[in-house]
């Protein structure tokens, strides 16, 4: 049984070998669960969902909305025919940032909804003004009561919305809200992430008419009725990337199934450039590393198709095993360097070049006790520990459990010496 006091005990220095089926994408499943609320008839069956706490929390919110949820192995069946409550549970909202995805679907379904400001990892301000302003531009009225926001879509209308940033959450909320809104709605400067595309594919399978997903302009033609569907979301590119970086750190050879290589194009380019060998065929990617690697020198995160912010912490972990000094610049979230102080405990030398760029190197690394402070940073501490000989421990792994399905079992299957305690 997992709980907040769990920690990982890791004896590092072992190569990784074997095959792994990458879990279904957390960032695809969560908005798809939300969008299932839009089905006017029939069941929504989601295939092979990851068994992670963020999914459990999202399903708990759906149950609070009177959506019937049943579990069949790793498949979930949702029936929203009796959905009736538009006020989302405040406690659950504060437990996860991804609950903001429910804004678009609840507002479409109930015409009014009240939410609390969302929680999640403390990796930056992550304001929701883009969500609010984009809905206002479609005629939604918004009122604030403390940390509660009340939305009224009684007089909403189709139209054109231009986002000041290609926000994934705002794009996904607009798509959900507009897919049943009479008329034609256009999102300009839309997010292009694979998870956005997957949400649009899911809604189209339900009977929506969404064109342009994956590009900078998405057009939604409102449809009166949507039906339930059986759907398998995409594989998790961040989990796949985490495993790939782990192999670069530890050495060995690992085959990953259920991946779309193009989703990690930037990472693959970097890992090949510094000395890894990567082969791809259909949905299988094989990565190996036998010799020492070269530095990557400098990377910068950005909105897709740029290097993903959710793999930035993992690249910091990789940096301490590379020669010379490497620079990492973060432009999406301002607090993505929470991992830095923990890496310094291992022996990393980190210099802040600015508030959002660091230079990192290391000479003498030693296994120590570490504390996870967010989801991706916590996984990155595991990667660093796997690469250092000696016994390390990583505590507060409940952060990691939000997005990785039994991370310790996954790496143990590949030959790592890691266990949950």
Residues known to be catalytic? 121
* Orientation of helix 102-110 relative to helix 129-136, angle to 10°: 30
Give the number of C-alpha atoms closer than 13 A to the C-alpha of residue 62, restricted to the C-beta side: 29
Give, for 410, the enclosing helix (H) or strand (E).
Answer: helix 407-413
- Residue 20 CA: distances (Å) to CA of 49, 98, 248, 253, 288: 16, 26, 16, 11, 14
Alpha-carbon gap, residue 182 to 188, rounded angstroms: 19
CA separation for the pair 349, 362 (Å, rounded): 5
Instruction: Answer for the pair 383, 314: CB distance below 8 angstroms, yes or no.
Output: yes
CA neighbours closer than 13 Å in the CB half-sphere of residue 304: 22
Residues 6+ apart with CB under 8 A from 384: 249, 317, 320, 343, 346, 370, 392
Residues in the chain: 421
How far apart CA 110 and CA 116 sit, in angstroms, is 17
Cα 247 off chain centre by:
21
Whether the upstream peptide bond of residue 98 has omega within 30° of 0, thus cis, is no
């Amino acid at each position: 049984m997992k709980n907040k006091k769990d920690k990982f005990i890791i004896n590092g220095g072992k190569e990784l070998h074997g095959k792994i089926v990458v879990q279904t994408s957390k960032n695809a499943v969560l908005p798809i669960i939300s969008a299932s609320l839009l089905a006017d008839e029939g069941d929504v069956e989601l295939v092979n969902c990851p068994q992670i706490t963020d999914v459990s929390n999202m399903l708990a919110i759906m149950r609070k909305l009177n959506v019937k949820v049943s579990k069949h192995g790793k498949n979930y069946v949702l029936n929203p025919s009796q959905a009736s409550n538009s006020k989302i549970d405040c406690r659950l909202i504060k437990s996860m940032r991804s609950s903001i995805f429910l804004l678009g679907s609840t507002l479409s379904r109930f015409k009014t909804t009240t939410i609390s400001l969302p929680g999640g990892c403390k990796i930056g301000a992550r304001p929701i003004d883009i969500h609010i302003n984009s809905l206002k531009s479609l005629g939604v009225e918004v009122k604030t009561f403390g940390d509660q926001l009340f939305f009224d879509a009684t007089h909403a209308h189709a139209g054109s919305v231009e986002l000041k940033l290609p926000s994934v959450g705002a794009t996904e909320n607009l798509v959900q809200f507009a897919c049943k809104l009479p008329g034609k709605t256009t999102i300009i400067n839309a997010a292009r992430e694979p998870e956005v595309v997957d949400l649009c594919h899911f809604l189209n399978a339900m009977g929506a008419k969404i064109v342009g997903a994956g590009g900078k302009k998405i057009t939604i033609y409102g449809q009166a009725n949507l039906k339930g569907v059986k759907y398998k979301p995409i594989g998790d590119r961040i989990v796949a990337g985490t495993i790939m970086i782990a192999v670069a750190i530890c050495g060995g050879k690992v085959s990953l199934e259920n991946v779309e290589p193009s989703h990690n194009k930037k990472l693959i380019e970097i890992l090949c450039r510094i000395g890894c060998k990567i082969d791809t065929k259909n949905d299988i990617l094989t990565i190996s590393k036998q010799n020492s690697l070269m530095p990557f020198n400098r990377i910068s995160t950005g909105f897709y198709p740029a290097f993903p912010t959710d793999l930035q912490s993992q690249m910091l972990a990789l940096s301490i095993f590379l020669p010379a000094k490497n620079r990492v610049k973060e432009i999406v979230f301002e607090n993505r360097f929470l991992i830095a102080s923990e890496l310094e405990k291992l022996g990393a030398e980190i210099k802040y070049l600015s508030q959002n760029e660091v230079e990192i190197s290391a000479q003498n690394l030693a296994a120590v006790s570490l504390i996870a402070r967010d989801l991706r940073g916590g996984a990155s501490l595991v990667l660093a520990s796997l690469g250092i000989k000696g016994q390390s421990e990583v505590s507060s792994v409940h952060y990691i459990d939000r997005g990785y399905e039994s991370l310790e079992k996954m790496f143990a299957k590949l030959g790592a010496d890691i266990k949950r305690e």
